[in-house]
Amino acid sequence: MNSAPATFAVGPTDFELDGQPFRILSGALHYFRVHPGQWADRIHKARLMGLNTIETYVPWNAHALTPDTWSTDGGLDIVHFLELVAAEGMHAIVRPGPYICAEWDNGGLPAWLFRGGPVRIRSSDPVFLAAVEGYFDHLLPMLAPLQCERGGPIILMQVENEYGAYGSDPDYLDALTSLLREGGITVPLTTIDQPTDRMLRDGSRPGLHQTASFGSRPLERLATLRQHQPDGPLMCAEFWDGWFDSWGQYHHVTDPDDSAADVRTILRLGGSINFYMFHGGTNFGFTGGANDKGVYQPLVTSYDYDAPLDESGVPTAKFWAYRDVIREFAAVPDEVPSARTASPEIAVEFATARSARELLPAGASFAGLPTNDEVGAASGFVLYRTPIDVTGRQVLEFAEVRDRALISIEGEPVGTLMRGDARAIALPSDASGCLEVLVEDLGRVNYGPRIGEAKGLIGPATLGGVALTDWEVAPLDLELMRTQPGTAVDGGPLAGPVFAHAGFELEEQLDLFLDTDGWGRGVVWINGFCLGRYWSRGPQRTLYVPSPVVHVGTNELTVFELHALTAPVRFVAGPGLGPVDV
């Protein structure tokens, strides 16, 4: 905690800390995308770049897996994270949403919000506001004591997130403001919007300080912001210094020198800045979201973002370019972070494996097709089964597949249906037996009108034009399945779906990079920690393994592969995030 209470205000020309002009030099660092054992390291490196503030979102859906639960365990301990920010002598900006986007699953909104039917999210609808109030009832008592006036690091909090790009409901913004104030939040409140007339008009309210989000043309963007807010400090509260990646595309990068020149312009104008991102981190587990502007595009596991600090916490060219610019306007510590050292290269064979089909659960019976949500699956995989017996070749068809379905009959693969591609498939001639459809949720949409949509198979389902109405459906309990013993294997390819296991030895605890080349599509755990998804379509070719996940001695790796493993386990010297757009 800070040694003494402080005041923070929005002055007529500047932010004011204890009555003195203060320029915010901030970096986005999402505690929920970084292993907690590495929080202090990432925060310290932000200060070494010359920053004085850390900004983070709060993911409602990660903290509240059900309406009746609230977790701050492990990587969700936001209080500890903010205490580390304070211990580094830095300030904090907190953005609690309730909607955060952040390329995070469902934009941070819990899937359970939508299970009772359509809900008017991000609006003054009483049902939605009641849920938000419950969320704030848990969160705000944790944050209020950490405000600067009470000796904590928090100097600003944000109301909603780029609301002007979504809607125009002033009553909603007023209600959120009231909930924050009633919850004990006394620091200044801000909004953020892309600097267009409509978004700035619809995205804020009197008494809320407006900020802008952009990644280029700062003179033009800040001039638009100034037209809407004649007084007060200018701030780019999201300076997009990179971008996120989607499966099947390329790895996004931007030019460090061009970006640094834009930073210099913002600072020369007297503006404050928040780098989005300073350190992106990783979409561990099943936390990555998806975008859908007519085409569904799920995000990769890495959230490297081409940021000043890469996914593994190593400074990039942008770190040094920004540091040089910041030094022109503020004091920068002499200390510098270390450069990358090569991680160990390790190769081991899979030792045991077990067919996933041997571990498939029994399900509940349904007369029609339930969605994943209707069987309680907020993410991951759901298995649909139904008996068939047809003559000749017939076509299996669904109204929609969300998002990827593996079709098999009595365990024999038939094919794959992918959202945005075909939603029908021809079955083998005279097919009979148990039709199995394993559906994977690739990530819930985090931006736009498709937030909150159901996942799974969307009915009706027909075979040869005749409706299929006898279904058995069950979510996969991957935590249980991955721990079941397999039988010894002696190398060579492994046919999926399969759980494969390997052990590897380490002489010291350090970061690793798992090479997934030669693997198809699946999920990886190391020592029970879910690293996330891999996919042969790229661009990402390695999975980052944070050093706190491993230990000296024997470590256990488990892979759930859906198609085929044609390569052993290989750890390589550094990250491989794929080809870039040049």
Tokens of 505: 């030895």
Can you tell me the distance from the alpha carbon of 174 to that of 161, in angstroms, rounded to the nearest whole number?
14
DSSP codes joined into one string, 150-209? GTSSEEEEE-SSSGGGT---HHHHHHHHHHHHHTT--S-EEEEE-SSHHHHHHT--TTSE
Distance CA 250, CA 227 (A): 37
Whether the upstream peptide bond of residue 497 has omega within 30° of 0, thus cis, is yes
Question: What pairing do the DSSP bridges indicate for beta strands 290-292 and 272-279?
Answer: unpaired
Which residues make beta-bridge pairs with 535? 521
Q: Kindly name the residue from 238, 311, 440, 561 that is annotated as catalytic.
A: 238
Q: Rounded CA gap, 40 and 44, in Å? A: 6
Compute the Cα dihedral for 536, 537, 542, 548 and give only its sign. Answer: negative
**Rounded distance, CA 291 to CA 528, Å?**
29
**How is residue 31 written in tokens?**
């505690």
Q: Evaluate whether 108 touches 443 at the Cβ level (below 8 Å).
A: no
- Judge whether 16 counts as a catalytic residue: no
- Phi-psi sector, 57: left (phi>0), alpha (psi -120 to 50), beta: beta
Question: CA-to-CA distance for 498 and 325, rounded, in angstroms?
Answer: 51
- Judged by DSSP in three states, 263 sits in helix
What are the structure tokens assigned to 427, written together?
């079955």
For residues 6 and 437, give the distance between their C-alpha atoms in angstroms, rounded to a whole number: 58
Contact by Cβ (8 Å): 429, 389: no
**Residue 508 annotated to the active site:** no
Tell me the C-alpha distance between 255 and 579, whole Å: 15
Read off the DSSP letter of residue 259. Answer: H
| DSSP assignment letter at 305 | T
User: Running DSSP on this structure, what letter comes out for residue 88?
Assistant: T
- Interatomic CA distance for residues 212 and 199, integer angstroms: 10
The catalytic residue among 55, 88, 103, 162 is 162
Looking at the annotation, which residues are catalytic? 162, 238
